Structure 1
């Protein structure tokens, strides 16, 4: 029986990896852009994510983009949590989440040029690791309000994930997952970090609370 079950188990695991990657490849901004006749990768920062969607297409388009990207991350995580075989579930769920984020960053349906993976990660964590979500969202929001930089805030939020994993005793699999995700988001935001060092990074002044308070003094 074991000789029969194991190949089937690994085949299902591999199939779910492929499926979650394909789900990740469904980019919200690019799908909505086709309906509008635009490719936001040719506008603004050239990124197919929610921030560039907001700056170039407005808040409704950006909201649709973020909802799709979060939703596909949540769906991929649900499929992984509920359909991964027992023999591989402990680690395969988190490998599938990485596949989903990788699909968003390098989407097969859009010439392997996608977004940066943050919204998709949020959706995935909401299902597979909900305890981590308030921490990274709090770090992201506090950083955004104090600096006004979306990219920097996202990188700091990503870095907080492995710190949370270590502090909460999350276990080796989640710690490795968190480290890989943090490194991946730092990589996808490397242009933002370079512009930040050069002093040319765009800032969302409306949410930059600290600067507004200084200006009133």
Structure 2
């Protein structure tokens, strides 16, 4: 159990390394003071450009993947949760570190990239349908937050359809709830009609 706790602690501390804030310090900016105020890839793209946002996304995905891989590799064979269950838990804890980073005053991003990193290691078959849903909703609506919420929510029926193991099932529900929670402000803005929209990705509307 000590090894499992240390792996989860490492996952949280690694998740707390925010890509946008770390790279922002190198540029002399704190993106939490710009745009939407969120320390995530979307706000990084809007305020700092594509290259900066790509670096942010790679860091955020990478820490989720690293946390899951280390837990899978070094999980105790006997006692406690199974290696796969511990790895899913580590990926989720890393996402919590991203949302509430100890290194950055507990003000982080929304956790989507870090969750995807963990899934790339533990449940890669889910990534393509998830990405297809995300792109479809984004192109149809122009709302990144809405696309993230709906795509992550699709993990729940996808887990049932693919008949995955129990750790993946639990992870799908936990991930969907976490993403919904971290996007609660976006939901409020959608309801009020004030949510920012990416009109450039709405190709069908431009052709019309």
SS in 1 for 2:163: coil
Superposition deviation, residue 163 in structure 1: 1.1
Gapped regions of structure 1 (runs ≥ 5): 1-9
1:206 is aligned to 200
How do residues 15-30 of structure 1 correspond to structure 2 at under 5 angstroms? Answer: 15-30=6-21
Q: Is the aligned partner of 1:40 residue 2:31?
A: yes
TM-score normalised over the length of structure 1: 0.92
Residue 101 (structure 1) aligns with:
95
Does residue 121 of the first structure (1) align with residue 121 of the second (2)?
Answer: no
Bigger CA drift: 151-160 or 128-137? 128-137
The corresponding residue for 2:167 is 173
User: Equivalents in 2 of 1:47, 1:139: separation in Å?
Assistant: 23
1:135 Cα deviation (Å)? 1.5
Cα RMSD (Å): 1.0
Paired positions, count: 205
1:183 aligns with one of 148, 163, 177: 177
Aligned mates of 2:130, 2:48 — CA distance in 1: 27
| Maintained 8 Å contact 1:147/1:210 | no
Q: Determine the C-alpha separation between the residues in 1 that align with 2:205 and 2:177.
A: 30
- Normalised by the length of structure 2, the TM-score is 0.95
